[in-house]
Structure 1
Amino acid sequence: MAYAWGVDSASPADDQLLQCVMNNFGKPRFWGRYLSTVPRVASGLTNEEISFLRGQNIKILPIYNDFREALGYENGKNVARVAVENAERLGVTQGTFLFANIEHYFRINEAWIRGWVDTIRISGYKSGIYHDPIRGPFSDAYCRAVKKDGRVGYETALWSAQPEITVTGPQDAPGFSPNRPDCNGNVWAWQYGRDSKTCPIDTNMMDTRLLNQLF
């Protein structure tokens, strides 16, 4: 299996930040960015940023994070609808994976996950979830969702935040070995390095099956 190196950032990907990444680490093949602005947390992706990254032949990994808990089927549907609306507003092509951002301290249950997956499915996009499989309740909730509806496991791309090792460039990246839930799941991305002190980024490895279905 082939893997690609890339980054994610809460701040916009512009020429200055890209040069920082390239000078200190290497050229990313993908860049994770948030679909909407969340004050004091992250700036939202813009059309100018999309044009800049695509002009550099860097794929965009779209993340939606404007929510603080993940409880209930209807809430999962509602969050997915807003994520889809933001993706459509930015011209993200259908067939692209959209990632819900689930932090380890979030309350989450299996119904929310099924609501997210079901709504993303009918939107024409594909379901992705950023998660911590070790800390917090995600793994248990996810496996309950898979047990209730096997499509959750087959359709969803998982982006694991564990183990956290260190920030590196592609030449020094670890072999692809993310932690994963104890049930069926496509763990296709791994955020192995967080909060670089050199540039405001995290570093990731990704299965090229996911890379090929980014924007």
Structure 2
Amino acid sequence: MMAYVWGVDSASPANSSLLQCVITNFGKPLYWGRYLSTVPGAADGLTTQEISFLHGQNVKILPIYNDFRQAVGYENGKNAARAAAGHAARLGIARGTFLFANIERFFKVDEAWIRGWVDTIRTSGYKSGMYHDPIHGPFSAAYCRAVSKDSRVKTESVLWSAEPERTVTGPQNAPAYAPYSPKCGGNVWGWQYGRDSKTCPIDTNLIDTRLYGQLF
């Protein structure tokens, strides 16, 4: 297997027509990022039927939690992690899988929320992931402050970077793996390099094989 694995994510459910669109126009994804719950106006939630469909196609699932609009406060970070773990358990997602908090560039973010998320994911049996923009917005500074307070934030978490943005491609002509990271570094094992395809409603990604091995 290549050191970095190609796949997609979508706000829409992964069904046979969308999968066929991706395969026809780009290639076969080895994983699919999907949201753990429905957030009106943002994303349709993953279902057990969708999980069965994807697994039947030998496609792993990268679970994303996005039912929050800012990432501020330790207790709020804990609550988000509890909710993410609860949805994952409801859907039958195995313990040991990385769950990714969807922290958008326009969110307010502080170090306390990040520590709350990491501390609570730790006790849930799942593993901590954070989708983020390391260049635009406050995530990078907040993350580095959290790391300075608790080194486990860095050692236990995997980061999925939204920068730099390249064009949407299939696996054959994906860019060399070169995501940006926060100034203090981190386990940047995912890169969403292509966004908002006009052909199929998906984004394209490369992830490290270490992350791929711990998807569901």
TM-score interval, smaller chain = over 0.9
Question: Per the alignment, in what secondary structure is the counterpart of residue 54 of structure 1?
Answer: helix
Q: Contact (CA 8 Å) 1:32, 1:63: kept in 2 or not?
A: yes
- Give the alignment of 1:164-175 within 5 angstroms: 164-175=165-176
1:116 alignment counterpart: 117
1:39 alignment counterpart: 40
2:144 alignment counterpart: 143
The CA deviation at 1:159 is: 0.2
Structure 2: distance between partners of 1:182 and 1:154: 15
1:206 alignment counterpart: 207
The CA deviation at 1:40 is: 1.1
1:159 alignment counterpart: 160
Unaligned runs of 5+ in 2: none
Question: Per the alignment, in what secondary structure is the counterpart of residue 166 of structure 1?
Answer: coil
Question: Per the alignment, in what secondary structure is the counterpart of residue 99 of structure 2?
Answer: strand
Q: Contact (CA 8 Å) 1:71, 1:111: kept in 2 or not?
A: yes
Q: Deviations 1:118-154 (Å, cap 9, x if unpaired)?
A: 0000000000000000000000000000010000000
2:90 alignment counterpart: 89
What is the one-letter code of the residue matched to 1:43?
A: D
Structure 2: distance between partners of 1:4 and 1:102: 22
Structure 2: distance between partners of 1:81 and 1:111: 16
Q: Does 2:22 align with 1:21?
A: yes
Q: Contact (CA 8 Å) 1:21, 1:199: kept in 2 or not?
A: yes
The CA deviation at 1:184 is: 3.4
Structure 2: distance between partners of 1:43 and 1:56: 20
The CA deviation at 1:204 is: 0.2
The CA deviation at 1:104 is: 0.3
What is the one-letter code of the residue matched to 2:39?
A: V
Query: How high is the TM-score relative to the length of structure 1?
Result: 0.99
Q: Contact (CA 8 Å) 1:3, 1:205: kept in 2 or not?
A: yes
Structure 2: distance between partners of 1:52 and 1:19: 13
Aligned-pair Cα RMSD in Å: 0.6
Question: Per the alignment, in what secondary structure is the counterpart of residue 85 of structure 1?
Answer: helix
Instruction: Name the count of aligned residue pairs.
Output: 215
Q: Which runs of 4+ in 1 moved over 3 A?
A: none
What is the one-letter code of the residue matched to 2:129?
A: G
What is the one-letter code of the residue matched to 1:85?
A: G
Structure 2: distance between partners of 1:65 and 1:208: 24
The CA deviation at 1:44 is: 0.1
Structure 1: distance between partners of 2:66 and 2:47: 16
Structure 1: distance between partners of 2:177 and 2:185: 18
